Structure 1
Amino acid sequence: MAPSAVLQKPGVIKDPVIAALFSTKDPEVRYQDLREIGHGSFGAVYFAYDKENEQTVAIKKMNFSGKQATEKWNDILKEVSFLNTVVHRHIVDYKACFLKETTCWLVMEYCIGSAADIVDVLRKGMREVEIAAICSQTLDALRYLHSLKRIHRDIKAGNILLSDQAIVKLADFGSASLVDPAQTFIGTPFFMAPEVILAMDEGHYSDRADIWSLGITCIELAERRPPLFSMNAMSALYHIAQNDPPTLSPIDDASEQPEWSREFVEFIDKCLRKPAEERMSAEECFRHPFIQKPRPSDTIQELIQRTKNMVLELDNFQYKKMRKLMYLDETEGKDGSESNGGGPAHDDLDFHGNEPHSIGRAGDSASSRSASLTSFRSMQSSGGGGGPAGLLVSTNLTGAMDNVHGTRLRSRNMSRGAFENEMKGVKTHLNRVKDARQNDFEEKLQVELDEEVVRYRRQQLNNLHALEERLDDEEVNVQERQMDTRHGLLSKQHEMTRELEMQHLNELHSMKKRHLETQHEAESASQNEYTTRQQEELRKKHAMQSRQQPRELKIQEAQIRKQYRQVVKTQTRQFKLYLTQMIQVVPKDEQKELTSRLKQDQMQKVALLASQYESQIKKMVQDKTVKLESWQEDEQRILSEKLEKELEELLVYQKKQKATLEEQIQKERTTLEERINARRALLEQKILEEREQMAEMRRLKKEQIRDRHSQERHRLENQFVRTGSTSRSSGGATNSSSIQMAM
């Protein structure tokens, strides 16, 4: 925040904090050679030399008198306080501040100009790489300001300065806000963000307003003018607030400037989002690909040097133009004075003065004028009496001779009639001498004029021949370039055709391989399905046989058990009969013991018999089962061998098919490569033949042109010889007759 103070009037400082911002010394003593380099509503900016520090500075003089003096004074305090608290490489350096009467002298580092000055001098927009370089350093300054919660609020090309060391400096903080967010309606209309325009009605705005102004500045640097520049300020403000954001205009002539890159268009689009929250921050802008894209380190230095060269050319042009105007003014003044005074000086001035600076008339050529000028100067310097000066000399000579002869005749005391006759004779003689000398002069002038014409026609013929040769070379070069372009297109077509044919063949081979693999997979699946089905049928058959076997075994087991029961019944009857007989034989006290012993024997016999029958049944079942399993195993083995053999045969067949396909593919590939190589050889042969034909055509054209030029030179020389002999003969006859008349 700027320090606040209660002032009785602007410029009267009571607060020591504010007083510390200003120096009490006289700035006119310290700074000299003040020259105005710019001005605006705030005041004027001067170039000056600081004697104390021995360096060049820029001084911004701001007057705070008159109407709205308090507001002006507060703006001065705000800007001085702002500059006094910010220090950054890309912000203009603050040197000192002075108060002199009602003017504030704000001293800052001197910069050679602004980005807007460069665009105006170059008369065209900057290149993308130059815009990116300037925006990169500007964003570095904006990142610093926004980190301090400050808003510049007047970003534009006119406030982006460049130092002689190619460093971008952000300047003009008179509109800056010391708080973020802000609400004041301030700034340059064409660069104001929509939320700044609507701030008085809809609330505050943030530092994203500077990002909008930066996007408009990019368009200004690219197109020389910001969007809506043709409108008045109020219409532009309404358009910005109500309509869609502006965009870059398309390039009209792509030969002079390439199309805008995708990164540049995207950068401006993200800077000019109408909702402020959708815009990039200064940090995001700085990290955008358009800003971070590699570029030469001397981009800004080269731009400054190019601008300096353009300024130098403009200064030289203006200097030459002023010199020409001054010379024309001087010439017109001399012409006027000589027309009043008369005399030969007018001819001499017109000859030596006007000719080198005259503008060529229609039908004249610079070479003819310069050659004629050289010949005339040589004639005049040799004392040959050429031109108007020579005629003037002969006329004066005639008058002098008249005076001499008249004096002689009067001294002889001749009569008036004789004197007049003698005077007539003398005048006749003098006229003859004058005519003879005039004829000599005209003949000499004609000879030199003929020589000048000969030189001129030779030079013109040589120029014409050189032009014809150059045009012919250019025509042949164009034909060669066209031929090279055609050959390049044919080679490219050949390569593209080759790639397409190879791609088509590869796709065809891939499709054949996929088809064969699919076929083999289907055959393998069918074989596996067949194997599974055969094994399943065999398993079902064996299961059915296994289910039928227990029934037969049970029948036989039932028969054996029936036989066993009959045997047990028979033995039981026999045992009972034997027991009855034995009881009758043995005494009564032994009968019980005998009965018990016999029963035990009987039970052992029955148990032994039962075990024999059980073992017989088990053996029978085991024999039957063993026979069934061995038969099933044999049948299973036979089926497995059969299936394995069929699978091996299928694999062999498939392998043979694969080998056949690979052989066919290799053969087709070889055939295609041979066809492509043959076509390439024919194309190269055709290209070689066309190049040889072009070289032969160039040679024949040069020979034809040389022959034709030689013939034209020969005809011209013959014409000169004929014309020269005729003129010399006619000149000789005229000369002899003139001499005889003079005698």
Structure 2
Amino acid sequence: LAVSGALGYAPGVWAERLRISQKWQDIIKEVKFLQKLRHPNTIEYKGCYLREHTAWLVMEYCLGSASDLLEVHKKPLQEVEIAAITHGALQGLAYLHCHNMIHRDVKAGNILLTEPGQVKLGDFGSASIIAPANSFVGTPYWMAPEVILAMDEGQYDGKVDVWSLGITCIELAERKPPLFNMNAMSALYHIAQNESPVLQSSHWSEYFRNFVDSCLQKIPQDRPTSDVLLKHRFLLRERPQTVIMDLIQRTKDAVRELDNLQYRKMKKILFQEAQNGPNAEAPDEEEVRAEAPTPGLTLCPTLPEGPRGRAEAKAALAEEKKFQQHILGQQKKELSNLLECQKRQYKLRKEQLKEELQENQSTPKREKQEWLLRQKENMQHYQAEEEANLLRRQRQYLELQCRQYKRKMLLARHNLDQDLLREDLNKKQTQKDLECAMLLRQHESTQELEFRHLHTVQRTRTELTRLQHQTELSNQLEYNKRREQELRQKHAMEVRQQPKSLKSKELQIKKQFQDTCKIQTRQYKALRNHLLETTAKSEHKGILKRLKDEQTRKLAILAEQYDHSINEMLSTQALRLDETQEAEYQVLRMQLQQELELLNAYQSKIKIHTEAQHEREIKELEQRVSIRRALLEQRIEEEMLALQNERSERIRSLLERQAREIEAFDSESMRLGFSNMALTGIPAEAFNQGYAAPPQPWPSRPVPRSGSHWSHGVQNTAGAPHAWRQPPLLAPPPSTWLHPPSSSASSPASAPGGRANVGMLRNSPQPLRRTASGGQAEPGISRSASVTSHILNGSHYSYS
């Protein structure tokens, strides 16, 4: 098992040895097949790594397979559970079949379950990317008939997975597939030749039976596809959404119970060897159960889960066994010393008695023998009683020391848990601080980049606007110059064309003059004829002369008018041309000036608008940056608050759990007859009445108690049983038997009384309190920053 914290998943890893090239091709084929899978009901491929001659395939982590459920529970699954598992597997098969893929190895061992209760297909080593196929591939008992006959009768398609799914349903319902009691070759023959298998028990529903019969149709054409089976009534029936989750939880409980049973068996064996030796009689089951670890009372907080937990528990038991063997060795040595001492004292006392008998010669021999026999019996009785008392005290001492050792290990583990929690919380706090600092730096960098980018854009826009205005102004000036030049060219053309127009005007006036002359001539002739007719002939000459003069005078007037008209026309035409050209030039100048002013006004307006836009963009950016900064600070504050709440909650839960474990341990100790003062290392004067003194005149033996090395201190967590030290259990033997024991011999063995760092435990309902070295107890542990700071600063907590 490998754990990837960066990706947030625990992938399953297994290795394939590369022995031959065919195996390598199979691995490449499986990896290519896995890379194509993208479905919730198929195992997710994470990666493949080649190291030396081993290919490591990293897959999505699953709790186990459907066959593991049968292995743990030792009984078939319920019909609703079979329906849920079959439905998930069939959805995965439908996905494969719609992409022309065949699994070819569907069985309970390849139907996996994840922690959220998702059903997934796994083990695609036998899968086919192309359908139809004709290879003889699969597990014999789950193999479809057409796969067995593929080499003789041709190809097969995805319906072989439907057959295997039907066999898997029978496997989940009966714990074994059909024909499982036969060997593989016989099973293949029966599958190909005999009728399809059916469910044996009669308590299954008709829907389930019909579903299995549909999957196990002998003829592939009669067998439904996976898409059709998804609409079967057996799968569409209403069932609880948490059916698989409940099944997984039941399986976890069963596995935990099995681990507990194995743990108790191992503890029983170790206890048996430590207490009585390997050849001694096994203790009573109730005694083993009383001494066996239970959740919350052993050195581990719960039953060990997984190989690592079991290894730690085994190591703890080995340490405890080593400690017990050390104490037993010392006690055995003390017992042998006592026996040797008693033997010497017995001989010495025997000699003294003989001397007393020899001094008293008046006593009869029979009385002397009876008295000597009584003295011997007395000595033997006292020695046996002393030996029994020693064995009893040694047993009590061993039990007390083992209990103290367990309590010390429990408190040491509590301190270790607090250290680990403090380290974890400090790491999380450091990571969160680094993350917040990184976010702030990123915000500052982004802000600087945005402002720099905005200034660059605005400078570019201003420069482009300036160039545009300069170009527009130069174009306008060129346009004005061109218009004036065109007007001057037009005027010059008009001036050049003026003589032609004057000549035509002059011809027109001349024609008018000629017409007038002709009219006057006709009028003169008509008047002359009239006067000649009305007057006398003698007067005709005078009339003709007068008329001639009148005609001459009028013609002279007409000639004068003609000349005057010509001159006036010439002067008027020239003046009119000059005035028209001047007026046109002035109009053009005014028009061009107005256009230039409009252009300048427009450019000024554009410039003002651009400056306003720049100011608006800067304000919007500042506002956007400030909002983003506020949101970032709010997010950081919320994350810090969440981290603080998580820290307080984890500390509170840890302390509560440790308090429950201590309370349960002490309750168990009280039930076994151990006082809390004895377990917590209170001086012997507080509890030496626990052992009765031996009868006189034999000297009493000191009451054994734990040495300072084995009393658990809150700050001293490194006291592993590498070099055991304890006070001697027996005082030096007295020089005489019949003298009363000395005060030093009757008092219990002394031990260091000052324990500044000893974790005390009282059986009282007071809240948990922290006791510092040499200081008073602080207020009760709560979800506060003070508790967090104590844990994070390395302080340990004890419980009172």
Q: With the length of structure 1 as denominator, give the TM-score of the two structures.
A: 0.42
Q: TM-score, normalised by structure 2?
A: 0.39
Which one has more relative contact order, counting CA pairs under 8 Å at least 6 apart? 2
